[in-house]
Amino acid sequence: MAYIGLTSSEARDRLMQYGPNTIEEKKTLFIVKLFRWIVSPISLMLIAAAILSYVAGKYFDVWFIVGLMMLNLGVTFWQEHKADAAIEKLKEHLTTQVRVLRDGVWTAMPSSNIVPGDVIKLFGGNIVSADVQLQDIVHLSINDAAVTGESLPQEKKVGDTLYAGSFVVSGQAVATVTATGSHTYFGKTLLSVQKTSRRSILEQDILRISKFLSLASVVVVVLLTGLFLWYRIALVNILTLDLSLVIAGIPISLPTVMTLIISLGVLELSKKNVIVKRLSSLEDLANVQVLFSDKTGTLTKNEIHVTNIIAYGTSEESIIRAAALASIKDDESSINKAILDKARDMRIAVNEKDVISFIPADSERKRSFAVVMSEGVNEAISVGAPQIIASLCAMHADTFDTDVEHAAKQGYRSLAVAVKEGSSQEQGMRMIGILLISDILRDDAKNVVEFLRANGVDVRMVTGDHRAIGERIAQDVGIAPDKVYAEILPADKLKLVEAEKKQAVVAATGDGINDLPAIKTADVGIAVSNAVDALKSGADIVLLSSGIGVIKDAIIEARKIFARLYTYSIYRMSESFRLIVTIAVLGIIYHTYPLEPLQLILLAFLNDVPIISLAVDRVTVVSKPSTIRVADRFILSALYGLTGIANSLVLFFIIKDIVHLPWNIIETIFFLKLAISGHMLVYVAHTKERWWRFLPSKAVILATAGTQVVATLFALVGIFMPAIPVIWIVVVWVWAFGWMQISELAKMFHKKYIRPRLG
């Protein structure tokens, strides 16, 4: 059938008229973002502090707090802008390509460029990127689940409409675009739907910690307020102490740190050709215990060649010509491309016009079928899995089974070719030969498999090839024979994933539309670089380059992200616990607290810099899947917190009741001690080793050193607080460093005596 597409000039005019074939996501208005920021906990605390300072007549404090609010607002929106820009950059890697007829030539172009009136080709695994009307079909089956909710594939006929968002399960089609972008049926629906996100278990865990600490702060605030009202303490002083407690207890930087850790980890993965589509899948990836890996393109290079030809009663040229005619209508298939390349190498010319009808191969049929015109008569040709093709033949060579088995043991995949002259039927055919297909093993495959095994990931091979081929490749890469699942159908792969998920965290790779059920069922579904569009759309993670080495990089980076979030949760729990208890104890004993709200706010901002730098901290990658050990973490956080409480209370009692320093000097000393000790705890908490044996990243070192220097200069010069003598600055630094070693001893005690008991 002759198709008439658009010219380039017509397409340009329609692109101007209808716009690109994209659906713009709803953007949150600036005023809405601003309102959300104003009613956030940190903003409400800053506003309360400003009001309290105004009531107390501290007008400089009011302007300073307002200035800090503006600074925080600027940083928040800048970080959000960077995150949005990074996401847009990542989206560019997932652009769908479409075969379009322009100026009479079939051309591959981004789906965003197609316009109403374009004529496009659809192949198995393609996502339908616009509303289209079918003009011609070959064995077409469509999945409309994204549009209608119907999960079973639907047979379609010429004249039917396909909606954007559906995908081709099997077969081929030529269609005319009827609507694009927001004008499509699916586009109109999407415009009314708000975007949602799913938090990982670790994110939910950290948010629970935040809520617990916030609740603890509120409970202590209520108790202290009742106690102070009983003592008839001035309301301004009560409010000052209450605000100090709330600022200390609520982990202000929590959302920023979590977002940065995850976002920077995702960007780091993108540099390694890994695109993360579901952020919460990173945690699952860090915990993967079993990896069901495809053979082709993952363990092998996916550089498929027709290496040899076994002929039965005919010439090699005749076999290749027949195979090429049964392949030319589906030149998207890597195997078909290899057959056509072999035909070109042998200077065998085939013409697509000779093909009268064609049914492409799929995972169920495992063969392609074509009826061609040969010397004025019809000829039926079938190319596919040897056992399937043999079942269609009236007879075949006595050595056929032996040839297939021998080829498999040598690592070759076999494709049988059968014909029937003067017929259009796939019955009673004649076997004419076998094509031996080879795919080269990847250089890094063996080392990566060994690395993954050493790091707690059990690699298992899943392939549709003959068992002898699978076992041969498995032997070369170091996978045990009992970890090889060969001659697998899509339903089998799904059952494997479902069974293993009952006892382990499972990742599975795939490339074809037949892999989609297993990919969606796995804890982490991975679409490899040559995967069809529909699979990339449904996967959690998309690989942009081939090979199992990319999967290793993804798992390592995911474990780093997990470790950073885990470290931050320990640090945040211990710091908030220390401050809440210290404020409560001093409030009960002295009816006050040695820091003004302004100083606490300043301390919070100084702490944010090194805490945020934890997003790029150097971490040790664990050699087994990561898990949240709630009891272990709580005990370690409590040990750090108790050490910090003792540190603060002992120093306060010394300078207040023994040395009898003036109250304003005590405030400055306490401010400096909290700034320095808190940052030193970062060095201890970020590693399970001795802190001096595994220092943080340069960014963390610079951030902690910089903020400690700034805090020291404030105390020395008297900025926002009374100045203190150099001797007291030295005392505070020595004191903080000494207690840092006590925190280190607490960590070693936990590592040696507590963690082993917890298992």
Question: Tell me, what's the pLDDT at 743?
Answer: 94
User: Residue 645 and residue 639: Cα distance in Å, rounded?
Assistant: 10
* Residue 405 CB neighbour total at 10 angstroms: 14
Q: What angle do CA 446, 450, 452 make, to 5 degrees?
A: 115
Question: pLDDT band at residue 242, thresholds of 50, 70 and 90?
Answer: confident
Considering only CA atoms, which of 543, 78, 67, 122 is closest in space to residue 293? 543
Residue 406: enclosing H or E segment and its boundaries? helix 400-409
- Looking at mean pLDDT, say which of 153-167, 288-302, 445-459 comes out highest: 445-459
Q: Is the pLDDT of residue 645 over 60?
A: yes
Report pLDDT for 196. 39
pLDDT in tens, 249-293: 666 666 666 767 777 777 778 888 888 877 777 778 888 899 998
User: Is residue 294 among the annotated active site residues?
Assistant: yes
Taking the C-alpha atoms of residue 584 and residue 568, their distance in angstroms, rounded to an integer, is 24
| pLDDT attached to residue 257 | 67
Between helices 597-613 and 41-55, what is the axis angle to 10°?
150
Torsion of Cα atoms, 677 then 681 then 683 then 687, to 10°: 170
* Ordered domains of the chain (ranges, CATH): 8-24+93-190 (2.70.150.10), 203-266+554-758 (1.20.1110.10), 274-300+441-544 (3.40.50.1000), 305-438 (3.40.1110.10)
188-224, pLDDT tens digit by residue? 544 333 333 445 565 666 667 767 777 777 888 888 8
| Strand positions, DSSP E, 234-294 | 274-276, 290-294
Note the pLDDT of residue 193: 37
pLDDT tens digits for 576-631? Answer: 888 888 888 888 888 777 877 777 777 777 776 777 777 778 887 766 666 667 77
pLDDT of residue 553: 85
pTM beyond 0.75, yes or no: no
Q: Which of 294, 403, 515, 523 is catalytic?
A: 294
Distances (CA, A) of 155 to 128, 133, 169, 171, 499: 15, 14, 10, 10, 31
**Short-list 611, 638, 640, 600, CA closest to 216:** 638
Cα Dmax for the chain? 112
